[in-house]
Chain A
Amino acid sequence: MSEKTKKQEYGTVGYYPGCALEGSANGYDVSTRAVAKKLGLGLKDVKNWNCCGAMEVKNVDPKLQTYLSARVLSNAVNLDHMNTVMAPCNGCYHNLKKAEYDLKHDAKSREVVDELSRKARHKTYEAGQVETIHALDWIKETIGEEGLKERTKGKLAGLKVANYYGCMYVRPRHIFPEKDQGPGSESTSKPHFMDDLLAAAGAENVEFPLKTACCGGAHTLSDSDTSTRLVLNILQAAEAAGADVIATECPTCHTGLEMHQVRAEKRFGKKTSVKIMYFTQLLGLALGIGPRRLGIHTNISDASDLIVDKRLT
């Protein structure tokens, strides 16, 4: 796909918010929609979407997870006539990409998806019909750094940001064939798209060594103490790096950082004060959108003082 065509293709995308963005990560959903509106980008919600299969279904039956993600892609192409689906949630993004990979490379997966689609009476999904992208790809490709610079005029100047991508955005590498393709592409070892976008809006990205480190999200209920200690280490590293705020792009990571920041103080007496915000909330502030319209008040991490101090409104 050429650069120009890609921009056009991404102008209006099928939007798959997934379960988290309708619940605990509502701030990510409203800020994504508000930023899209401000940037003149189109979002068309995927009709009758379902859970991507997340971690729970994958643990029971990986092929069932492939089917659930394939059904979302089938609806996008057959009901909405979209050929691009944008998923802001790392878990959803990862699972749709994995389904795409499995259907392309594994005959058994195709067989299961075809069979379940037939039973559920909808058209099956065939690999290659839809391209799945992340919200970071979407803004980077359509607006880009230059476009953001023009629109934000360095509004985030003076704000020190630690960009935290989490693990599912880049792993496993083989399901992201478009990454690691040289200059301009995203890196799976040192991702930088969020850094690029926030820097374009004027933010100062600090050197943060735990960008893709595990947040312990999968063990947050079964082994809360390990999750808390992993998160505490991430928060302390961000503070040691000089960050005012950790920018996130994964609802699981975001919720984990917020909840375990509180728990770390209660359980281990370790207080950290670095704030946690979705990158779309930061971009929204840079674009002049009010904090409430970005759902910042719905975050557990209270960034109101930071927003006032840094004159982000």
Chain B
Amino acid sequence: MSATPSAALASQSRLPSSLAIFADIEARIDRIIARPGDPEASAQALLQLGEQVLERWLEARGEVPTGEQREGFRLLALHRQGARGEPSFNACRETCRELAYYYNLIKLEPAHPDREKRVGLAAMVAKHLALFVSGKMQVAGLGEFCCAAKPLRAGGK
């Protein structure tokens, strides 16, 4: 399989910058959209990618991502942790809940005729989460998104 533009971008970077990390996450989501494979495995992978997105947000804020669960999902516990002191982060609350909802649908209705379609929609929900959080991190000046800004942030070093 040829690499997508975002995957190529991620592989070129030797440092795990925020840009490269999010590009990698998006590339992995795009691969699931292109070739869903086993629906339950894909749903599990999307849930984990969603968790990774929220972990990046928390780490960039200097917090240790929780290992706890909320309503049976670590994703929801991570979101709750990420929204503490940052009410605007609740703008992705329903996106997280939609991802958990689709995971349940895919897992609990294995014979449903729309199972593959549901994987596709779940992937788009996961992608939205990644885009939203990376956008918020850029606005908040968290992480390293722009190589041109790096010398400025590093104090000219």
Contacts and interface: CB of A to CB of B under 8 A. Distances in A.
Interface of A: 167, 171-172, 189-190, 207, 209-214, 216, 219, 222-223, 226, 229-230, 233-234, 236-237, 240-241
Contact of A219 (B90, B92, B139): B139
Given A171-B91, A223-B135, 5 more contacts: A207-B121, A214-B92, A214-B128, A223-B138, A229-B131
B132 A210 contact: no
Given A189-B97, A223-B138, A213 B132 contact: yes
B102 interface: yes
B117 A230 contact: no
Given A213-B95, A219-B139, A237 B132 contact: no
B125 interface: yes
Contact of B124 (A211, A214, A219, A237): A237
15 contacts: A207-B121, A209-B101, A210-B95, A210-B125, A210-B128, A213-B132, A214-B128, A219-B135, A226-B131, A226-B135, A229-B131, A230-B135, A233-B124, A236-B124, A237-B125
A226 B125 CA distance: 15
Nearest to B129: A213
Contacts of B131: 226, 229-230, 233
> Nearest 10 A-B pairs (CB), nearest first?
A226-B135, A237-B124, A209-B98, A212-B94, A209-B125, A209-B121, A213-B128, A167-B91, A233-B128, A230-B131
A214 B92 CA distance: 8
B97, B117, B131 interface centre (most CB from chain A within 10 Å): B131
Interface in B47-98: 87, 90-92, 94-95, 97-98
B153 to A, nearest CB: 18
Interface of B: 87, 90-92, 94-95, 97-98, 101-102, 117, 120-122, 124-125, 127-128, 131-132, 134-135, 138-139
A237 B121 contact: yes
Contacts of A226: 131, 134-135, 138
**A interface secondary structure, majority:** loop
A190 B97 CA distance: 10
Contact of A172 (B87, B121, B124, B139): B87
A47 B132 CA distance: 39
B94 to A, nearest CB: 5
A214 B90 CA distance: 11
A213 B121 contact: no
Nearest to A190: B94
Given A226-B135, A230-B128, A233-B128, A213 B94 contact: yes
A207 B125 CA distance: 13
A161 to B, nearest CB: 16
B64 to A, nearest CB: 26
A207, A210, A212, A213 interface centre (most CB from chain B within 10 Å): A213
Given A171-B90, A209-B102, A240-B121, A223 B95 contact: no
B100 to A, nearest CB: 11
A223 B139 contact: yes
A207 B87 CA distance: 28
Contacts of B124: 209-210, 233, 236-237, 240
B116 to A, nearest CB: 11
A96 to B, nearest CB: 19
Nearest to A231: B131
A171 B83 CA distance: 14
A237 B138 CA distance: 24
A214 B98 contact: no
Nearest to B5: A268
B115 to A, nearest CB: 13
A219 B135 CA distance: 9
A212 B90 CA distance: 11
A223 B140 CA distance: 13
A229 B23 CA distance: 13
A223 B141 CA distance: 13
